[in-house]
Structure 1
Amino acid sequence: MSSDHTQQELPPGVLIHPASDRRLAAEHWLLSTLPEDRRARARLEWRDEGVAMLPLGTLFSAVRLPIRLITAITGPLKLHEIDVFLADALDGGPVICDLNGPRYYALVPASVPRTWRDAAHEWRDADADVLGRDTLLGVPPLDATELNPAARASYWSVPMESMGMLCAPLKVARLIAAAQDQMARDAIG
């Protein structure tokens, strides 16, 4: 039996949505950031280029996390080990890894650039940045969930499990604060 269809006892009336249905709904949700006439092009970009440029600030925003910020907490790790760490630290909230940095993008609610403005200003000291309106983010296709440097420029470090499920801003803030604290201690020696 596939992982999409598990046998379990559920109360009457509870709907189970297979992973493939959730993935399709999440894809439609992500593409809804674009005008309707641009969505087919984005699907082609996913297929041909491994990434589609999606606008931030309407449905979601992103917090850019350089790898050095994360390894300040974890120490040197392989990318797949960082993926596991981020999934745990951010309670499974979606994170994109851009192999060109490498850097990570935690997807957060669209309101974060406005509501976390003061904290975001302090985060710049650690090269973290909050990205919102007037910014495009390279988003990999939802099935790009494993490191494959030969085939893709980015992948889902922590996959988006379903539409609208984003990282909790407080979890992201705590991660950045812990990294900044560790970097400050490391600088003192």
Structure 2
Amino acid sequence: MIDQARAAITNWLASAHDTPTRARREFDVGIALVPTGTKFDAIRLPAPVVHAAAGSSAPEAVVAFLAEGLKVGAVIHDAYGVGVWYYALVPPGTYDHWRVPGVECLAPGTWLGVPRLDFLPRPGPHWALPPRAVGSVCDARAVAALVLRGRDRLDVVPGAERTL
């Protein structure tokens, strides 16, 4: 990614914060806490649902699946802790209309750990699908389709992990 594009995307992400300079300083260290609801909303996706939809839990396969299915969007993968989550960034206002049971769209004002753009590898929060441009968010309908595909596959696979 060209430095100018990277700076513009970082500034866009930081501009969601009341104090963008603070967010930019946090990005310098690695991960900025940024509130949802102004520049983007975020849908928290359980890893088993994403992996079932992708047909694999292999990082390369999941990234390829997300890139194909979500096109120009951005997805954070938080691989720390007991629950492993993906966060699809979606247009602001999605929270008001999100109706997919068992999968949460974070309420506006929820603080989300957003990694620096070059945080791509595991462990910890990193970009599974980094934003490629300012305003690069996933289509909420495509995220809903991913969830339904993953849940359908979990329903038919014997012994598949259920988290919903």
Q: TM-score, normalised by structure 1?
A: 0.76
- Matched with 1:83 is 63
- What pairs with 1:53-64 in structure 2 (closer than 5 Å)? 53-64=33-44
Kept after mapping to 1: 8 A contact 2:56/2:62: no
Q: Deviations over 1:2-26 (max 9, x none)?
A: xx6xxxxxxxxxxxxxx32222111
Report sequence identity in percent: 34
- Matched with 2:52 is 72
Kept after mapping to 1: 8 A contact 2:54/2:61: no
1:39 is displaced (CA, Å) by: 2.4
| Structure 1 runs not aligned, ≥5 long | 5-18
- Matched with 2:155 is 184
The change in CA–CA distance for 1:54 and 1:72 in structure 2 (over 3 A counts) is same
1:46 is displaced (CA, Å) by: 2.1
> What letter matches 1:43 in structure 2?
R
Kept after mapping to 2: 8 A contact 1:56/1:134: yes
Q: Distance in 2 between matches of 1:143 and 1:154?
A: 11
1:102 is displaced (CA, Å) by: 2.5
Between the two proteins, the alignment pairs up a number of residues equal to: 158
Q: Is residue 39 of structure 1 aligned with residue 14 of structure 2?
A: no
| Structure 2 runs not aligned, ≥5 long | none
Q: Distance in 2 between matches of 1:185 and 1:42?
A: 43
- What pairs with 1:14-163 in structure 2 (closer than 5 Å)? 19-35=2-18, 38-48=19-29, 50-100=30-80, 101-116=83-98, 119-120=99-100, 122=101, 124=102, 128-144=103-119, 146-149=120-123, 153-163=124-134
Q: Deviations over 1:97-120 (max 9, x none)?
A: 11214211000001111122xx23
1:83 is displaced (CA, Å) by: 1.5
Kept after mapping to 1: 8 A contact 2:53/2:147: no
Kept after mapping to 1: 8 A contact 2:79/2:122: no
> What letter matches 2:147 in structure 1?
I
Displaced runs of 4 or more, over 6 A: none
> What letter matches 2:110 in structure 1?
T
Q: Distance in 1 between matches of 2:54 and 2:131?
A: 23
The change in CA–CA distance for 1:130 and 1:182 in structure 2 (over 3 A counts) is same
> What letter matches 1:142 in structure 2?
L
Kept after mapping to 1: 8 A contact 2:78/2:85: yes
